[in-house]
Structure 1
Amino acid sequence: MTATVIRSAPADTDRPAHRDGNVLRWLGAYTSSMIGDNVYYLALSWAAVQAGTPSQAGLVMAVSAVPRALLMLGGGVVADRFGPRKVVIGSDAVRCAAVLAVAALLFAAGPGLWLLALLAVVFGTVDAVFMPAVGALPVRVTSHGQLARVQGMRGLASRFANVVGAPLGGLTVALGGSATAFGLAGVLIAVSVPLLISVRMRELPIDDKAAERPARRDLRDGLGYIRRHRVLAPLIAAIALGDFGFAGPLNVGLTLLADQRGWGAAGMGWVVAGFGTGAGAAALLLTVRGHLPHAGRLAGVAILGGSVAIGALAYAPSAAAAVGVALLVGLLAGLSGALCGALLQTHADPAYLGRVTAVAGLVSLGLAPLSMPVAAAAIGWWGTGPVFVASAAVCGLGGVLALCVRDLRRAELPR
């Protein structure tokens, strides 16, 4: 293999990330794209409901998950082979073009389910490449010592996008219909492209022989790299256990719990808001502090504490108490998630980071949602309390693993 090293270090790498213009441009691009995603998903769900039956609408919303899960690992290979910068810019451009094309077609004619399903498949397919590349970008735009702060800033941006995107999409649908909402989503995604182009990134050596190797060899090498790594292998296992135990109770389980306790939709909304507030506070803590000592140990303790809070949520005596417990769940889950993300970024060789991010994304977005129908069926058989406790135990195993594996327990974030 011959390689040519290109060093284009990001500007202002000695500055804190929240004062670095280069990082802020990247964050602006990420935020705009995420708000566009939220508007897109709301517009898609509304258009699908208007065009078909509820079951058909559910199918349209679900079809994007299939190519994303099937192609995610290949997307990590693409991100590492061609570089996350090119992949993110290219995939954002494709996402923008697809959404704007559907908006134009909907302006010209009524929505058809086939068109919406096709858009969902295209979006999911591109997401399989986009998401690993997005995960591999932070290490290219800032120094290692600022990665924890960048993870916090990214968490704040995600929360902001969730809070702003859905109401903005709903308002746009109400005023102009689904076509207008798709158009707005396309414009928001488009805004991210020039911002990303303006971001200076640290490049890796160029592998002249990469195009000659089969993609499956790169994938096999990446999986082998993770399997042999003393921090990454247990870390991804801990993430998988934590997310698998977390997804069921905090999604379908919470809805069933609110219905059984008579809290209603408003009560459930306050519980969800409590969780979001806690997660946002954790992201803000990392943004302000920039570094937390004993990161591996702290992540394990946070996962364990969050799992206890998940189990306690089913036994909250009132909606107000459930909001307080959800606030604690969000704080601990947000802290452990940000720390795990920062540890992935700092302990993975940047040449493998796309594949590492793809594997972590697959266990979170591909495997963890499988617990939702299982949790719903189990609640029907045994009730909310036992299922929440069992799910909390699965989640807690991730914390136990993090604390029992010496290299992960002793893992630190760079200063």
Structure 2
Amino acid sequence: MDATPARSAPQGATAGRAVWSRDFALFFAARAVARLGDTMLPVALAAGLLQHGYGAGAVGLAMAATAAAFAGLVVFGGVLADRFSTRRLMIGADLVRLGTQALAAALFFSGHVVLWQICAIGFVNGVAGAVFQPGVASTVPRLSSDVQGANGAIRVAESAAQLAGPAVAGLLVGFASPGGVFAAHATTYALSALCLLLLRLPPPAPGSRAVSGRGSRAFRADLVQGWREFCARRWLWSVIAVWCVYMIAVWGPTVPLVAAEVVQEHGARAYGLVNSALGAGTVVGGLLALRLRPRRMLRAGAIALVGFAAFPASVGAGLDVPVMAAGAAVAGAGMSFWGVMWATSVQTQVPPDVLNRIHAYDVAGSLAMMPVGQALAGPAASALGADHVLLVAGATSFAVCAALLLIPAVRGLVRVDTRTAPTAGTATGTATGTPGPARTAAAAEPSRTRER
């Protein structure tokens, strides 16, 4: 792995001070508690709908309503986040989801559960998520000068919440009811909104709120500008293009087929163990991302991502449960480390005035092919066998990582805080596709002005 030059060592020594502050702690808490609630939701939906006579297809439809709304509208959320106060948009989105989940809790408590109503609630949640998510990208660099450390800390918290969420939901279903899980989920959004309400963001960098004006034409112009900025960065769109293949051939089929194979061959407890190992691995990957400071972040992340192949390959090969759990842990660590490297690269390499829009294109592109991969998993398993599809997914994971490393713009991208000075042609990244330093002024200089 490409080590950080000696000149960057002092940054690691002061990472704690650079990351942790009152405002970042509030944002950290908001992300952790919201993630805890989100990981409780699948358990609540499955248990609640099954108890009221619906099947697995209904559970999938309810989840798909949220995913479709989010994936279809997140790009527009990016434009809104670049035009208005991201903190207010996120608070508003949390309050909307507080209302929808409270309504869902009331429906399940009353026993009056109609599928279309649950799907409508899920759709509104997806719209709120599409408004919320783009602002996350620009909030992190405004709260911490150590962007990688901040992303690593948030990843650890979200991973720990992902481990705890299903267990907490299971206890609530057992001792209360699915309605109790929805009520707890609504509470997590209330706590997230409260943390964001108490948060005081430094002002955005000069010019980062520049927009094209008002009205539908200006909105379309901002949308087009975001797309042009996205296409101008070769390392960015190259990764998303490769990631589409990854979603279709690796991640999409791995999630459903691993669940089916492990449960059928070893039982639900074994699947729970494997899933917990995957979550524990993501925590480890986040902790490693807090410590390691590679100079070429995407190169290091792609090398770490090789470890994900161990997950589908170990299940496809029919290995013992402890080996599958170990493979899942390695996969989680690799995926988590890559996630921090990628998020940090986007947040530090992209100018703040288009960061939310580009992040929205990033999220939309990353998620677009996942349903395709999931939909093709069943027919592929019927034709080839689930074990063979998982072995192919493991091999494809290697190929995807190799493809990332073969792209010069990806493997050669240098982290912002190790550059001595921008050179001609790289100051904005629009000429060569390799953006130059984009650290926000708010992260580098304190200010008495606060966004409220």
Q: Under TM normalisation by the shorter chain, which class is it?
A: 0.7 to 0.9
CA distance in 2, matches of 1:107, 1:303: 43
Q: Which structure 2 residues correspond to residues 268-307 of structure 1 after superposition, within 5 A? A: 268-287=271-290, 289=291, 291-307=293-309
Is the contact made by 1:226 and 1:233 (CA closer than 8 Å) also made in structure 2? Answer: yes
C-alpha displacement of 1:126:
1.2
Q: Which structure 2 residues correspond to residues 359-374 of structure 1 after superposition, within 5 A? A: 359-374=361-376
Tell me how many residue pairs correspond in the alignment.
399
Greater helix share, 1 or 2? 1
CA distance in 1, matches of 2:48, 2:387: 37
C-alpha displacement of 1:108:
5.2
**Counterpart residue number, 1:235:** 239
**Counterpart residue number, 2:82:** 80
**Counterpart residue number, 2:270:** 267
Is the contact made by 1:64 and 1:120 (CA closer than 8 Å) also made in structure 2? Answer: yes
CA distance in 2, matches of 1:413, 1:354: 20
**Cα distance change of structure 1 residues 114 and 201 upon mapping to structure 2, 3 Å threshold:** same
SS at match of 1:233: helix
C-alpha displacement of 1:138:
1.0
Q: Which structure 2 residues correspond to residues 313-352 of structure 1 after superposition, within 5 A? A: 313-352=315-354
Superimposed CA distance per residue, residues 62-84 of structure 1 (whole angstroms, 9 cap, x where no aligned partner): 22222122212111111222142
C-alpha displacement of 1:88:
1.0
The answer for unaligned runs of 5 or more in structure 2 is 1-13, 418-452
**Cα distance change of structure 1 residues 323 and 40 upon mapping to structure 2, 3 Å threshold:** closer
SS at match of 1:317: coil
SS at match of 2:70: helix
SS at match of 1:211: coil
Q: Which structure 2 residues correspond to residues 13-412 of structure 1 after superposition, within 5 A? A: 16-54=17-55, 55-107=57-109, 110-143=112-145, 146-204=146-204, 205=207, 206-207=209-210, 209-212=212-215, 213-259=217-263, 262-287=265-290, 289=291, 291-307=293-309, 310-412=312-414
Aligned partner letter, 1:378 = A
Aligned partner letter, 2:17 = P
**Cα distance change of structure 1 residues 114 and 304 upon mapping to structure 2, 3 Å threshold:** closer
CA distance in 2, matches of 1:218, 1:164: 40
The answer for unaligned runs of 5 or more in structure 1 is 1-12
**Cα distance change of structure 1 residues 101 and 309 upon mapping to structure 2, 3 Å threshold:** closer
Aligned partner letter, 2:276 = A
CA distance in 2, matches of 1:312, 1:45: 28
Is the contact made by 2:247 and 2:370 (CA closer than 8 Å) also made in structure 1? Answer: yes
**Cα distance change of structure 1 residues 101 and 248 upon mapping to structure 2, 3 Å threshold:** closer
TM-score by length of 2: 0.81
C-alpha displacement of 1:17:
4.7
CA distance in 2, matches of 1:249, 1:59: 18
Tell me the percent identity. 25
Coordinate RMSD, CA, aligned: 2.5
**Cα distance change of structure 1 residues 387 and 40 upon mapping to structure 2, 3 Å threshold:** closer
**Cα distance change of structure 1 residues 78 and 327 upon mapping to structure 2, 3 Å threshold:** same
**Cα distance change of structure 1 residues 380 and 402 upon mapping to structure 2, 3 Å threshold:** same
Aligned partner letter, 2:252 = G
C-alpha displacement of 1:156:
1.1
Superimposed CA distance per residue, residues 192-241 of structure 1 (whole angstroms, 9 cap, x where no aligned partner): 11211222323333336432443222111111111111322223234333
Aligned partner letter, 2:365 = V
C-alpha displacement of 1:27:
0.3
**Cα distance change of structure 1 residues 173 and 245 upon mapping to structure 2, 3 Å threshold:** same
C-alpha displacement of 1:123:
0.8
Is the contact made by 2:160 and 2:279 (CA closer than 8 Å) also made in structure 1? Answer: no
Is the contact made by 2:305 and 2:338 (CA closer than 8 Å) also made in structure 1? Answer: yes
Superimposed CA distance per residue, residues 77-115 of structure 1 (whole angstroms, 9 cap, x where no aligned partner): 112221422211111111112222333455456333333
CA distance in 2, matches of 1:46, 1:53: 10
Superimposed CA distance per residue, residues 262-291 of structure 1 (whole angstroms, 9 cap, x where no aligned partner): 22222222222222222210101122x162
Aligned partner letter, 2:29 = G
Moved more, 155-164 or 46-55: 46-55
Aligned partner letter, 2:373 = S
Moved more, 25-34 or 39-48: 39-48
Is the contact made by 1:248 and 1:376 (CA closer than 8 Å) also made in structure 2? Answer: no
Moved more, 186-195 or 173-182: 173-182
**Cα distance change of structure 1 residues 322 and 312 upon mapping to structure 2, 3 Å threshold:** closer
CA distance in 2, matches of 1:331, 1:14: 21
CA distance in 1, matches of 2:104, 2:306: 45
CA distance in 2, matches of 1:395, 1:17: 35
**Counterpart residue number, 1:3:** none
SS at match of 1:137: helix
**Counterpart residue number, 1:9:** none
CA distance in 1, matches of 2:108, 2:311: 46
TM-score by length of 1: 0.87
Aligned partner letter, 1:324 = A
**Cα distance change of structure 1 residues 386 and 408 upon mapping to structure 2, 3 Å threshold:** same
Aligned partner letter, 1:33 = A
CA distance in 2, matches of 1:167, 1:408: 39
